[in-house]
Amino acid sequence: MKISTKTTVTSLWAMAVLMTGSSIALAQEKNTLKEALKDKFLIGTAVNTLQASGKDKAGAEVIREQFSAIVAENCMKSQEIHPEENRYNFTQADEFVAFGEKNNQTITGHTLIWHTQLSRWFCVDKDGKNVSPEILKKRMKDHITTVVKRYKGRIKGWDVVNEAFEDDGEYRKTKFYEILGEEYIPLAFQYAHEADPNAELYYNDYSMALPGRRAAVIKLVKDLKKRGIRIDAIGMQGHVGMDYPKISEFEKSMLAFAETGVKVMITELDLTVIPSPNPNIGAEVSASFEYKKEMNPYPKELPAEVAKAWTARMNDFFRLFLKHQDIITRVTLWGVADHNSWRNDWPMNGRTDYPLLFDRNYRPKPIVDLIIKEAARK
């Protein structure tokens, strides 16, 4: 059968249109963080109660479009979810979990045992004195079992214990440590595993590039494994600055943790550009300083040269994460947009910081496009 030139040209044109359309669709599909990184690692964010409830519609939309994983920012901490010994408040936590399920996102529970944002009753009696070891064990088990079982099969993993070590690797002298000693950590992991045997279990801490804390966490992982207690990953909080930590030291900790047989998760990632009133406080949430104008250098906007430096520094971290995608399972930002960040009021109220991937209008910063392009190269 003879085919006319006109028919051939028309067919070729139609094919070109289809191919172009497919290319555009593919490009659009890859034009989000979660699509660009889906074969690398989960990309997550902390979600606040306004976003989970849908009251912050703009924020919720960015979370749906850009992130494949979510973690509870505050609503699962004991003072929120278990304010009194015989009373739980699951309203906000239920909204958070439902939000993640609705959007097909991997959900992390944060956190089961932490000395900060701890319910006042948890470790003391009615007179304010430390309870006995037996009573604290029972309270820990009841709390962990009740919370974990409620979301059994719905939450992929839990930050079981949060921030148990000092910078030098010594145990932080919390109420849990005062009453139970080192044993409170294995007990917490044991109780969590018993409540949901299929849930992943994590230890989470900040300033993990410091040699002392690195060594302490490695020893913890080895001790838990030796005792047959489940631990799946180490959460390396990413509360970083423009000149700390050294990326080489951060990388050293990543590799050292992975060598123990667990996965690595980059958690609570944010990059501050404003000065710290004390360079030795790490991410100690209880730290507080009086406001000083000179400590708030960018109240209106970030100068172009500072924004450029911030972008380069954040990009260096994501290059590191992509380099080691074989050991990293998740990278989680501690908030969606700059105005959501805890850093605006920590450790000094009333400052303006710019630590996240989206600006105060939920618009993506240039770093978002850079991450997507970096992912395409790896």
pLDDT band for 26, please (50, 70, 90 cuts).
very low
Residue 199 confidence (pLDDT) above 60 = yes
Look at phi and psi of residue 2 and say left if phi exceeds 0, alpha if psi is from -120 to 50, else beta: beta
pLDDT band for 6, please (50, 70, 90 cuts).
very low
3 state SS of 265: strand
How many C-beta atoms surround the C-beta of residue 102 within 10 A? 10
How do strand 233-241 and strand 42-47 relate by DSSP bridges?
unpaired
- What's the pLDDT tens digit per position in 285-314? 888 999 999 999 999 999 999 999 999 999
Find the radius of gyration of the CA atoms of the chain: 23
Residue 22 confidence (pLDDT) above 50 = no
Residue 333 confidence (pLDDT) above 70 = yes
- What's the pLDDT tens digit per position in 150-163? 999 999 999 999 99
Q: What pLDDT shows up at residue 281?
A: 82
Residue 320 confidence (pLDDT) above 50 = yes
Residue 369 confidence (pLDDT) above 80 = yes
Residue 251 appears among annotated catalytic residues: no
pLDDT band for 378, please (50, 70, 90 cuts).
confident
Positive or negative: CA dihedral 141, 142, 147, 150: positive
Catalytically annotated residue among 80, 163, 200, 374 = 163
- Ranking 8-12, 221-225, 283-287 by mean pLDDT, the lowest is 8-12
How do strand 106-113 and strand 157-162 relate by DSSP bridges?
parallel
| Maximum alpha-carbon separation in the chain | 98
Q: What pLDDT shows up at residue 195?
A: 98
Query: φ and ψ at 333, to 5 degrees?
Result: -80, 145
pLDDT band for 30, please (50, 70, 90 cuts).
low
Residue 163 appears among annotated catalytic residues: yes
3-state helix, strand, coil in the chain (%, to 5): 45, 15, 40
Catalytically annotated residue among 35, 80, 268, 374 = 268
Q: What is the residue-averaged pLDDT of the chain?
A: 93
Integer Cα distance of 306 and 344 in angstroms: 17
Helix 133-150 to helix 184-195 angle (10° resolution) is: 30
Residue 16 confidence (pLDDT) above 50 = no
- What's the pLDDT tens digit per position in 123-148? 999 999 999 999 999 999 999 999 99
Task: Please give the full DSSP string across 40-79, using - where no structure is assigned.
Answer: T-EEEEEE-HHHHHTSSHHHHHHHHHH-SEEEESSTTSHH
Structural fold of domain 40-377? TIM Barrel (3.20.20)
Q: What is the value of pTM for the model shown?
A: 0.91
Domain-by-domain residue ranges, the chain? 40-377
Integer Cα distance of 364 and 61 in angstroms: 13
- What's the pLDDT tens digit per position in 66-122? 999 999 999 999 999 999 999 999 999 999 999 999 999 999 999 999 999 999 999
Integer Cα distance of 268 and 325 in angstroms: 18
Positive or negative: CA dihedral 148, 152, 154, 155: positive
Residue 29 confidence (pLDDT) above 90 = no
What is the identity of the amino acid at 113? Answer: I
Q: What pLDDT shows up at residue 180?
A: 98
- Report the percent of the chain where pLDDT is more than 90: 88
Positive or negative: CA dihedral 63, 67, 69, 74: negative
- What's the pLDDT tens digit per position in 229-288? 999 999 999 999 999 999 999 999 999 999 999 999 999 999 999 998 887 788 888 889
Q: What pLDDT shows up at residue 194?
A: 98
Residue 61 confidence (pLDDT) above 60 = yes
What is the identity of the amino acid at 227? Answer: R
Integer Cα distance of 100 and 108 in angstroms: 10
Nearest to 340 by CA among 44, 42, 46, 34: 46
